[in-house]
Chain A
Amino acid sequence: MTTTATAPASRVGSVLSSFIKARETGILLALVLIVVVTTAKNPNFLFSNDGFRDLLLTPSILLLVAVGQAIVIITRNVDLSVGSVLGLTAYLTGRLFIDIPGIPIIVVFLAGLVFGGLLGLINGALVAFAKVPALVITLGTLYAYRGINVLWTGSDRINASDMPKPFLALGTQSILFIPVLTIIAVVVLIVAGWYMRNQRGGRELYAIGSDPDAANLYGLGVTRRVLVAFVVCGALAGLAGVLYAARYGTVNSQAGSGFELEAVGAAVIGGVAIFGGSGTVWGAAIGAYLLFTINRALPILGVQDFWQRAVVGVLIIGAIVLDRLLALRQTRKLVEARDSE
């Protein structure tokens, strides 16, 4: 939505200027600033082996969930159940390894994706057909899915010893210094970003979020598109659940609780407007990185990490205030342009 003008005369210049004007640039700069300042204070933050790996690795799981969340929010909905979906698929992952010895890892990944997608389909079907706000429906399924998780898990928990070594290695391994989880997350991000920007389906999601009634009158398949958005969001949360199991090795019934607010927070900080129609999955991804990087940076900067949530709160509020100011300026400019004609 932000970058559409491309003059053939100076393509490099226009790309550059649209990059500077893009909503995501601001928070990317904030992220870079935090990394630079923290590294200046303690070089290990970036330049030690573990530091560099953690910087990329820790936010990868949230990145996947935030991308799905951004797609749903762009359609003017919200999915509060992602944390519960993540928890359920994380436990499913462990159960599959225990119950079916020797199951191929790829099958487990597919199972997580499909199961998460099914849970998303339930959300989407309830939202799209009952015409009830997603906030209410997914608040309900947030409880219901978590309850099912607790019922299924009980006081049981999955331990690292229950899962095969190659699978756990995925959680920590790197290829060319880049953690595998990060590569998976970035591939998903690139596909989602490309689809949302260039494909008809993606553009229609923006149209639906901008004005659902107009999209309906125009004949866009609103029901189907919204359904797909929820399925994608659920599937990504499911994938995140599988990666969660690989990364942390232990899964109990509370895995991923509270994750929904982190995901919505990441999207909002990344410039996805909560009432739909604007923002990008790139922004949501940078938001996810910003959230978790701050978490790690605060103790190094001499702030107790208890304050992390407060900082996140300020960031969310700051981001939406900035959005509001930019929107007001845009309106004023458009009015001026109209009046001068």
Chain B
Amino acid sequence: MTSSLTGAPASTRSYKDYSRPLWQRVLLTREGAVYAALIIVIVGATVSVRNFGSPITMTYLLLDVTPILLIALPMTLVIITGEIDLSVASVVGLSSVTLGTLHQAGLPIEAAGAVAIVVGALAGALNGFLITVVGLPSLAVTIGTLALYRGLAVGLLGTTAVTDFTEFWTDLAKSKIGSTGVPSVMILFVILLVVFAIVLHFTPFGRGIFAIGLSPEAARFSGIHVERTKFILFVLSGTISAVAGIFYTLRFGSARGDNATGLELSVIAAVLLGGVSIFGGRGALHGVIAGVLLIGVLGSALRLANVTSDVINIITGTLLVASVVSTSVLAWLRTARARPGGTNRAPSATTKS
């Protein structure tokens, strides 16, 4: 509605540009660029960084990015509807503490885990309720619940940690599939990925998610249950975050209130890097997976190359900014070239009027 006036957002929203030949449409997409970057980094690191190609590196790399991979699935769907969930890392902490305290109280770990997942779903449901029923902006709501859930987690356990988990479970979290070096938790992730991909890309529910992101009003008029869809997505986001919290706890064998602090920023950075538009309405899961892996591989390679681990921060940030800015620059170049009269004209129509 509004984008037709300013021009610029409309161009970043263009979903499929059929005026271009097929190979350009396939290769010159955001996802294509992320894949290319991922392949270049993997090849470059394997050649130049010692030990990068070894299975043990891959195992640790995958274990490290698993929570981000898991949470990125629902986050992608949430951002495609034009909303955001900043509370995911706090739900990780909350589920970790739930698991820890219940286990300490004598509950078997299966039951404690089930309760933790329910708690995560409830946390997501509260977000969903405030956003869809009360009608509040998701950014504000989830900044609030980010503090609230983290506060509950830290309040319940204080600065203590629960560490007496049975070895069976902590080993299971770190175990590998046979002799491949691939962590078994990847099986869980792949199953979830397939489910999410089918739901998002091949069902009416998934098309509805895109439609909501492009225009909630239009989606509502075409009979999509906008509020219900969003509510379901926030519950999903809480549930998967709780699963990630259980994995996180068992992997490190420690339930703490401040587990995974700041993880929400990594997840959102990876999702946006993977080509999901923050305006909503555009994105694909395979791009997001490539985005998560790109950040993970870069970090792992740099650590192995003895670059201080925090340099990754600069690279993550610059990548994120460069990727979103490049979209705008490309869109501007395309409109400038398409405009009759030359390529060197400033985009005065959009900035001044």
| Chain A residues at the B interface, C-beta cutoff of 8 Å | 78, 126, 130-133, 135-137, 139-148, 150-151, 154, 212-213, 216-217, 219, 223, 253, 258, 261, 264-265, 268, 274-275, 304, 306-317, 320-321, 324
B317 part of interface (Cβ distance < 8 Å): yes
Neighbour of A306 across the interface among B6, B137, B154, B312, CB < 8 A? B154
Output the nearest chain A residue to B8 by Cβ-Cβ distance: A131
Q: Is the CB of B321 within 8 A of A309?
A: no
Q: Is the CB of B308 within 8 A of A309?
A: no
B140 part of interface (Cβ distance < 8 Å): yes
Residues of B within 8 A of A213 (CB): 2, 5-6
B268 part of interface (Cβ distance < 8 Å): yes
Neighbour of A154 across the interface among B145, B272, B308, CB < 8 A? B308
Output the nearest chain A residue to B262 by Cβ-Cβ distance: A258
Give the distance in Å from the alpha carbon of A258 to the alpha carbon of B137 in the complex: 21
A140-B320 contact, Cβ under 8 Å, with A154-B308, A320-B140: yes
Neighbour of B324 across the interface among A132, A223, A304, CB < 8 A? A132
Q: Encode contact with A along B321-341: 1 for CB under 8 Å, 0 otherwise.
A: 100110111000000000000
A126-B317 contact, Cβ under 8 Å, with A275-B137, A312-B151: no
Give the distance in Å from the alpha carbon of A340 to the alpha carbon of B54 in the complex: 77
Neighbour of B143 across the interface among A151, A212, A264, A311, CB < 8 A? A264
Residues of A within 8 A of B316 (CB): 140, 143-144, 147
Q: Is the CB of B143 within 8 A of A316?
A: yes
Q: Is the CB of B155 within 8 A of A144?
A: no
Question: Which positions 1-51 of chain B face chain A at CB distance < 8 Å?
Answer: 2, 5-6, 8-9, 12
Residues of A within 8 A of B327 (CB): 132
Give the distance in Å from the alpha carbon of A212 to the alpha carbon of B353 in the complex: 13
Neighbour of B321 across the interface among A140, A217, A268, CB < 8 A? A140
Output the nearest chain A residue to B324 by Cβ-Cβ distance: A132
| Chain B residues at the A interface, C-beta cutoff of 8 Å | 2, 5-6, 8-9, 12, 84, 130, 134-137, 139-141, 143-152, 154-155, 158-159, 257, 262, 265, 268-269, 272, 278-279, 308, 310-321, 324-325, 327-329, 350-351, 353
A-B contact pairs, 15 of them (CB 8 A): A130-B329, A131-B328, A132-B325, A137-B324, A139-B268, A140-B317, A143-B314, A146-B313, A216-B353, A217-B5, A307-B155, A310-B148, A312-B148, A316-B147, A317-B130
A320-B317 contact, Cβ under 8 Å, with A130-B328, A314-B148: no
Task: State the main secondary structure of chain A at its contact with B.
Answer: helix
Give the distance in Å from the alpha carbon of A265 to the alpha carbon of B269 in the complex: 21
Neighbour of A311 across the interface among B9, B151, B329, CB < 8 A? B151
Interface centre among A126, A143, A212, A253 (most CB of B within 10 A): A143
Residues of A within 8 A of B149 (CB): 313
Neighbour of A321 across the interface among B130, B148, B262, B308, CB < 8 A? B130
Output the nearest chain A residue to B6 by Cβ-Cβ distance: A213
Q: Is the CB of A147 within 8 A of B310?
A: yes
Give the distance in Å from the alpha carbon of A311 to the alpha carbon of B144 in the complex: 10
Neighbour of A136 across the interface among B313, B314, B318, B324, CB < 8 A? B324
CB A307 to nearest CB in B, in angstroms, measures: 4
Give the distance in Å from the alpha carbon of A143 to the alpha carbon of B309 in the complex: 13
Give the distance in Å from the alpha carbon of A265 to the alpha carbon of B151 in the complex: 14
Residues of A within 8 A of B314 (CB): 143-144, 147-148, 151
Sample of 7 further A-B pairs with CB below 8 A, known A132-B325, A136-B320, A143-B265: A78-B139, A135-B278, A139-B268, A146-B317, A213-B2, A306-B257, A317-B144
Residues of A within 8 A of B320 (CB): 136, 139-140, 143
Give the distance in Å from the alpha carbon of A310 to the alpha carbon of B262 in the complex: 16
CB B273 to nearest CB in A, in angstroms, measures: 9
Q: Is the CB of B269 within 8 A of A139?
A: yes
Output the nearest chain A residue to B272 by Cβ-Cβ distance: A136
CB B131 to nearest CB in A, in angstroms, measures: 11
Q: Is the CB of A261 within 8 A of B147?
A: yes
Give the distance in Å from the alpha carbon of A287 to the alpha carbon of B139 in the complex: 18
Residues of B within 8 A of A142 (CB): 265, 317
Neighbour of A147 across the interface among B136, B144, B145, B313, CB < 8 A? B313
Q: Is the CB of B155 within 8 A of A310?
A: yes
Q: Is the CB of A310 within 8 A of B5?
A: no
CB A110 to nearest CB in B, in angstroms, measures: 27
Give the distance in Å from the alpha carbon of A141 to the alpha carbon of B155 in the complex: 31
Q: Is the CB of A126 within 8 A of B308?
A: no
Residues of A within 8 A of B325 (CB): 126, 130, 132, 137
A140-B310 contact, Cβ under 8 Å, with A309-B147, A321-B136: no
Q: Is the CB of B2 within 8 A of A131?
A: no
Give the distance in Å from the alpha carbon of A144 to the alpha carbon of B151 in the complex: 27
Neighbour of A143 across the interface among B136, B141, B146, B317, CB < 8 A? B317
Give the distance in Å from the alpha carbon of A179 to the alpha carbon of B159 in the complex: 33
| 4 cross-chain pairs, A with B, having the tightest CB-CB distances, nearest first | A313-B148, A310-B151, A143-B317, A147-B314
Q: Is the CB of A141 within 8 A of B137?
A: no
Q: Is the CB of A217 within 8 A of B353?
A: yes
Neighbour of A317 across the interface among B145, B150, B328, CB < 8 A? B145
Residues of A within 8 A of B310 (CB): 146-147, 150-151, 253
Q: Is the CB of B140 within 8 A of A268?
A: yes
CB B245 to nearest CB in A, in angstroms, measures: 17
Q: Is the CB of B317 within 8 A of A317?
A: no
Residues of A within 8 A of B135 (CB): 324
